Amino acid sequence: MTTTHAAPKFRHKVTVGLLAALLGVVGAQWWYLKRPYAWLVTTYSVVLMVLSAFAEVWWENPAFFLLFIPILNGFIEAIVWCLMSDAKFDARFNPGLTREHPSGWGAILVASFTLLIGTVAFMFGIAMIVIYIWSALGWLEGLNLQG
C-alpha cells in the first residue's frame, strides 16, 4: 500500500490580502495559510458576534468594541502581506514552489483598498468609543447629537 502526498498548494498574496481585508474578522486568511491557531481567531470572533447580537443595543456592547481587534488585525495583515516582496512571501508560505507570474498591481490595489476601508473602520471605532465614554461621563448632556 502506497501513500501519496498531495502536492503543496501555491498561496497567492492577493488572495491572502482579500481574505484578510474582507473576512479578517473571522481569521479567513489564517485558514488559507494553514496557521495552527486559526480556530482560536474564528472562535473568538464568533463568540463576540453572538454576545453582541444578544445585547439590547448591540453597538453599545463591549463585545462589539472587542470585535474591532480582529477587524483591524485583518486590515493590517492584508496591507503587510500585499506589500511584502514576492520572494519573502514565497519563502515563508510557498517554500519549494515556483511563482509563475509576479503579483503585480493586484496586490497594490488590495493594499490601497484595505488602507482606505481600514482607516474608515478605525476612525469609526474611535468615534464610537469616544461618544460612548463621553455620554457615560455626562460630558455630552444638553447637546443635540441627532442633528
Please report the pLDDT score of residue 23 as a whole number.
Answer: 95
Which range has the top average pLDDT, 73-77, 92-96, 100-104? 73-77
- DSSP class of 104: T
What gap in Å lies between CA 25 and CA 56, rounded to an integer? 22
Nearest to 118 by CA among 33, 22, 13: 22
- DSSP class of 81: H
Confidence grade of residue 22 (pLDDT, cut at 50, 70, 90): very high
Domain borders along the chain are: 13-137
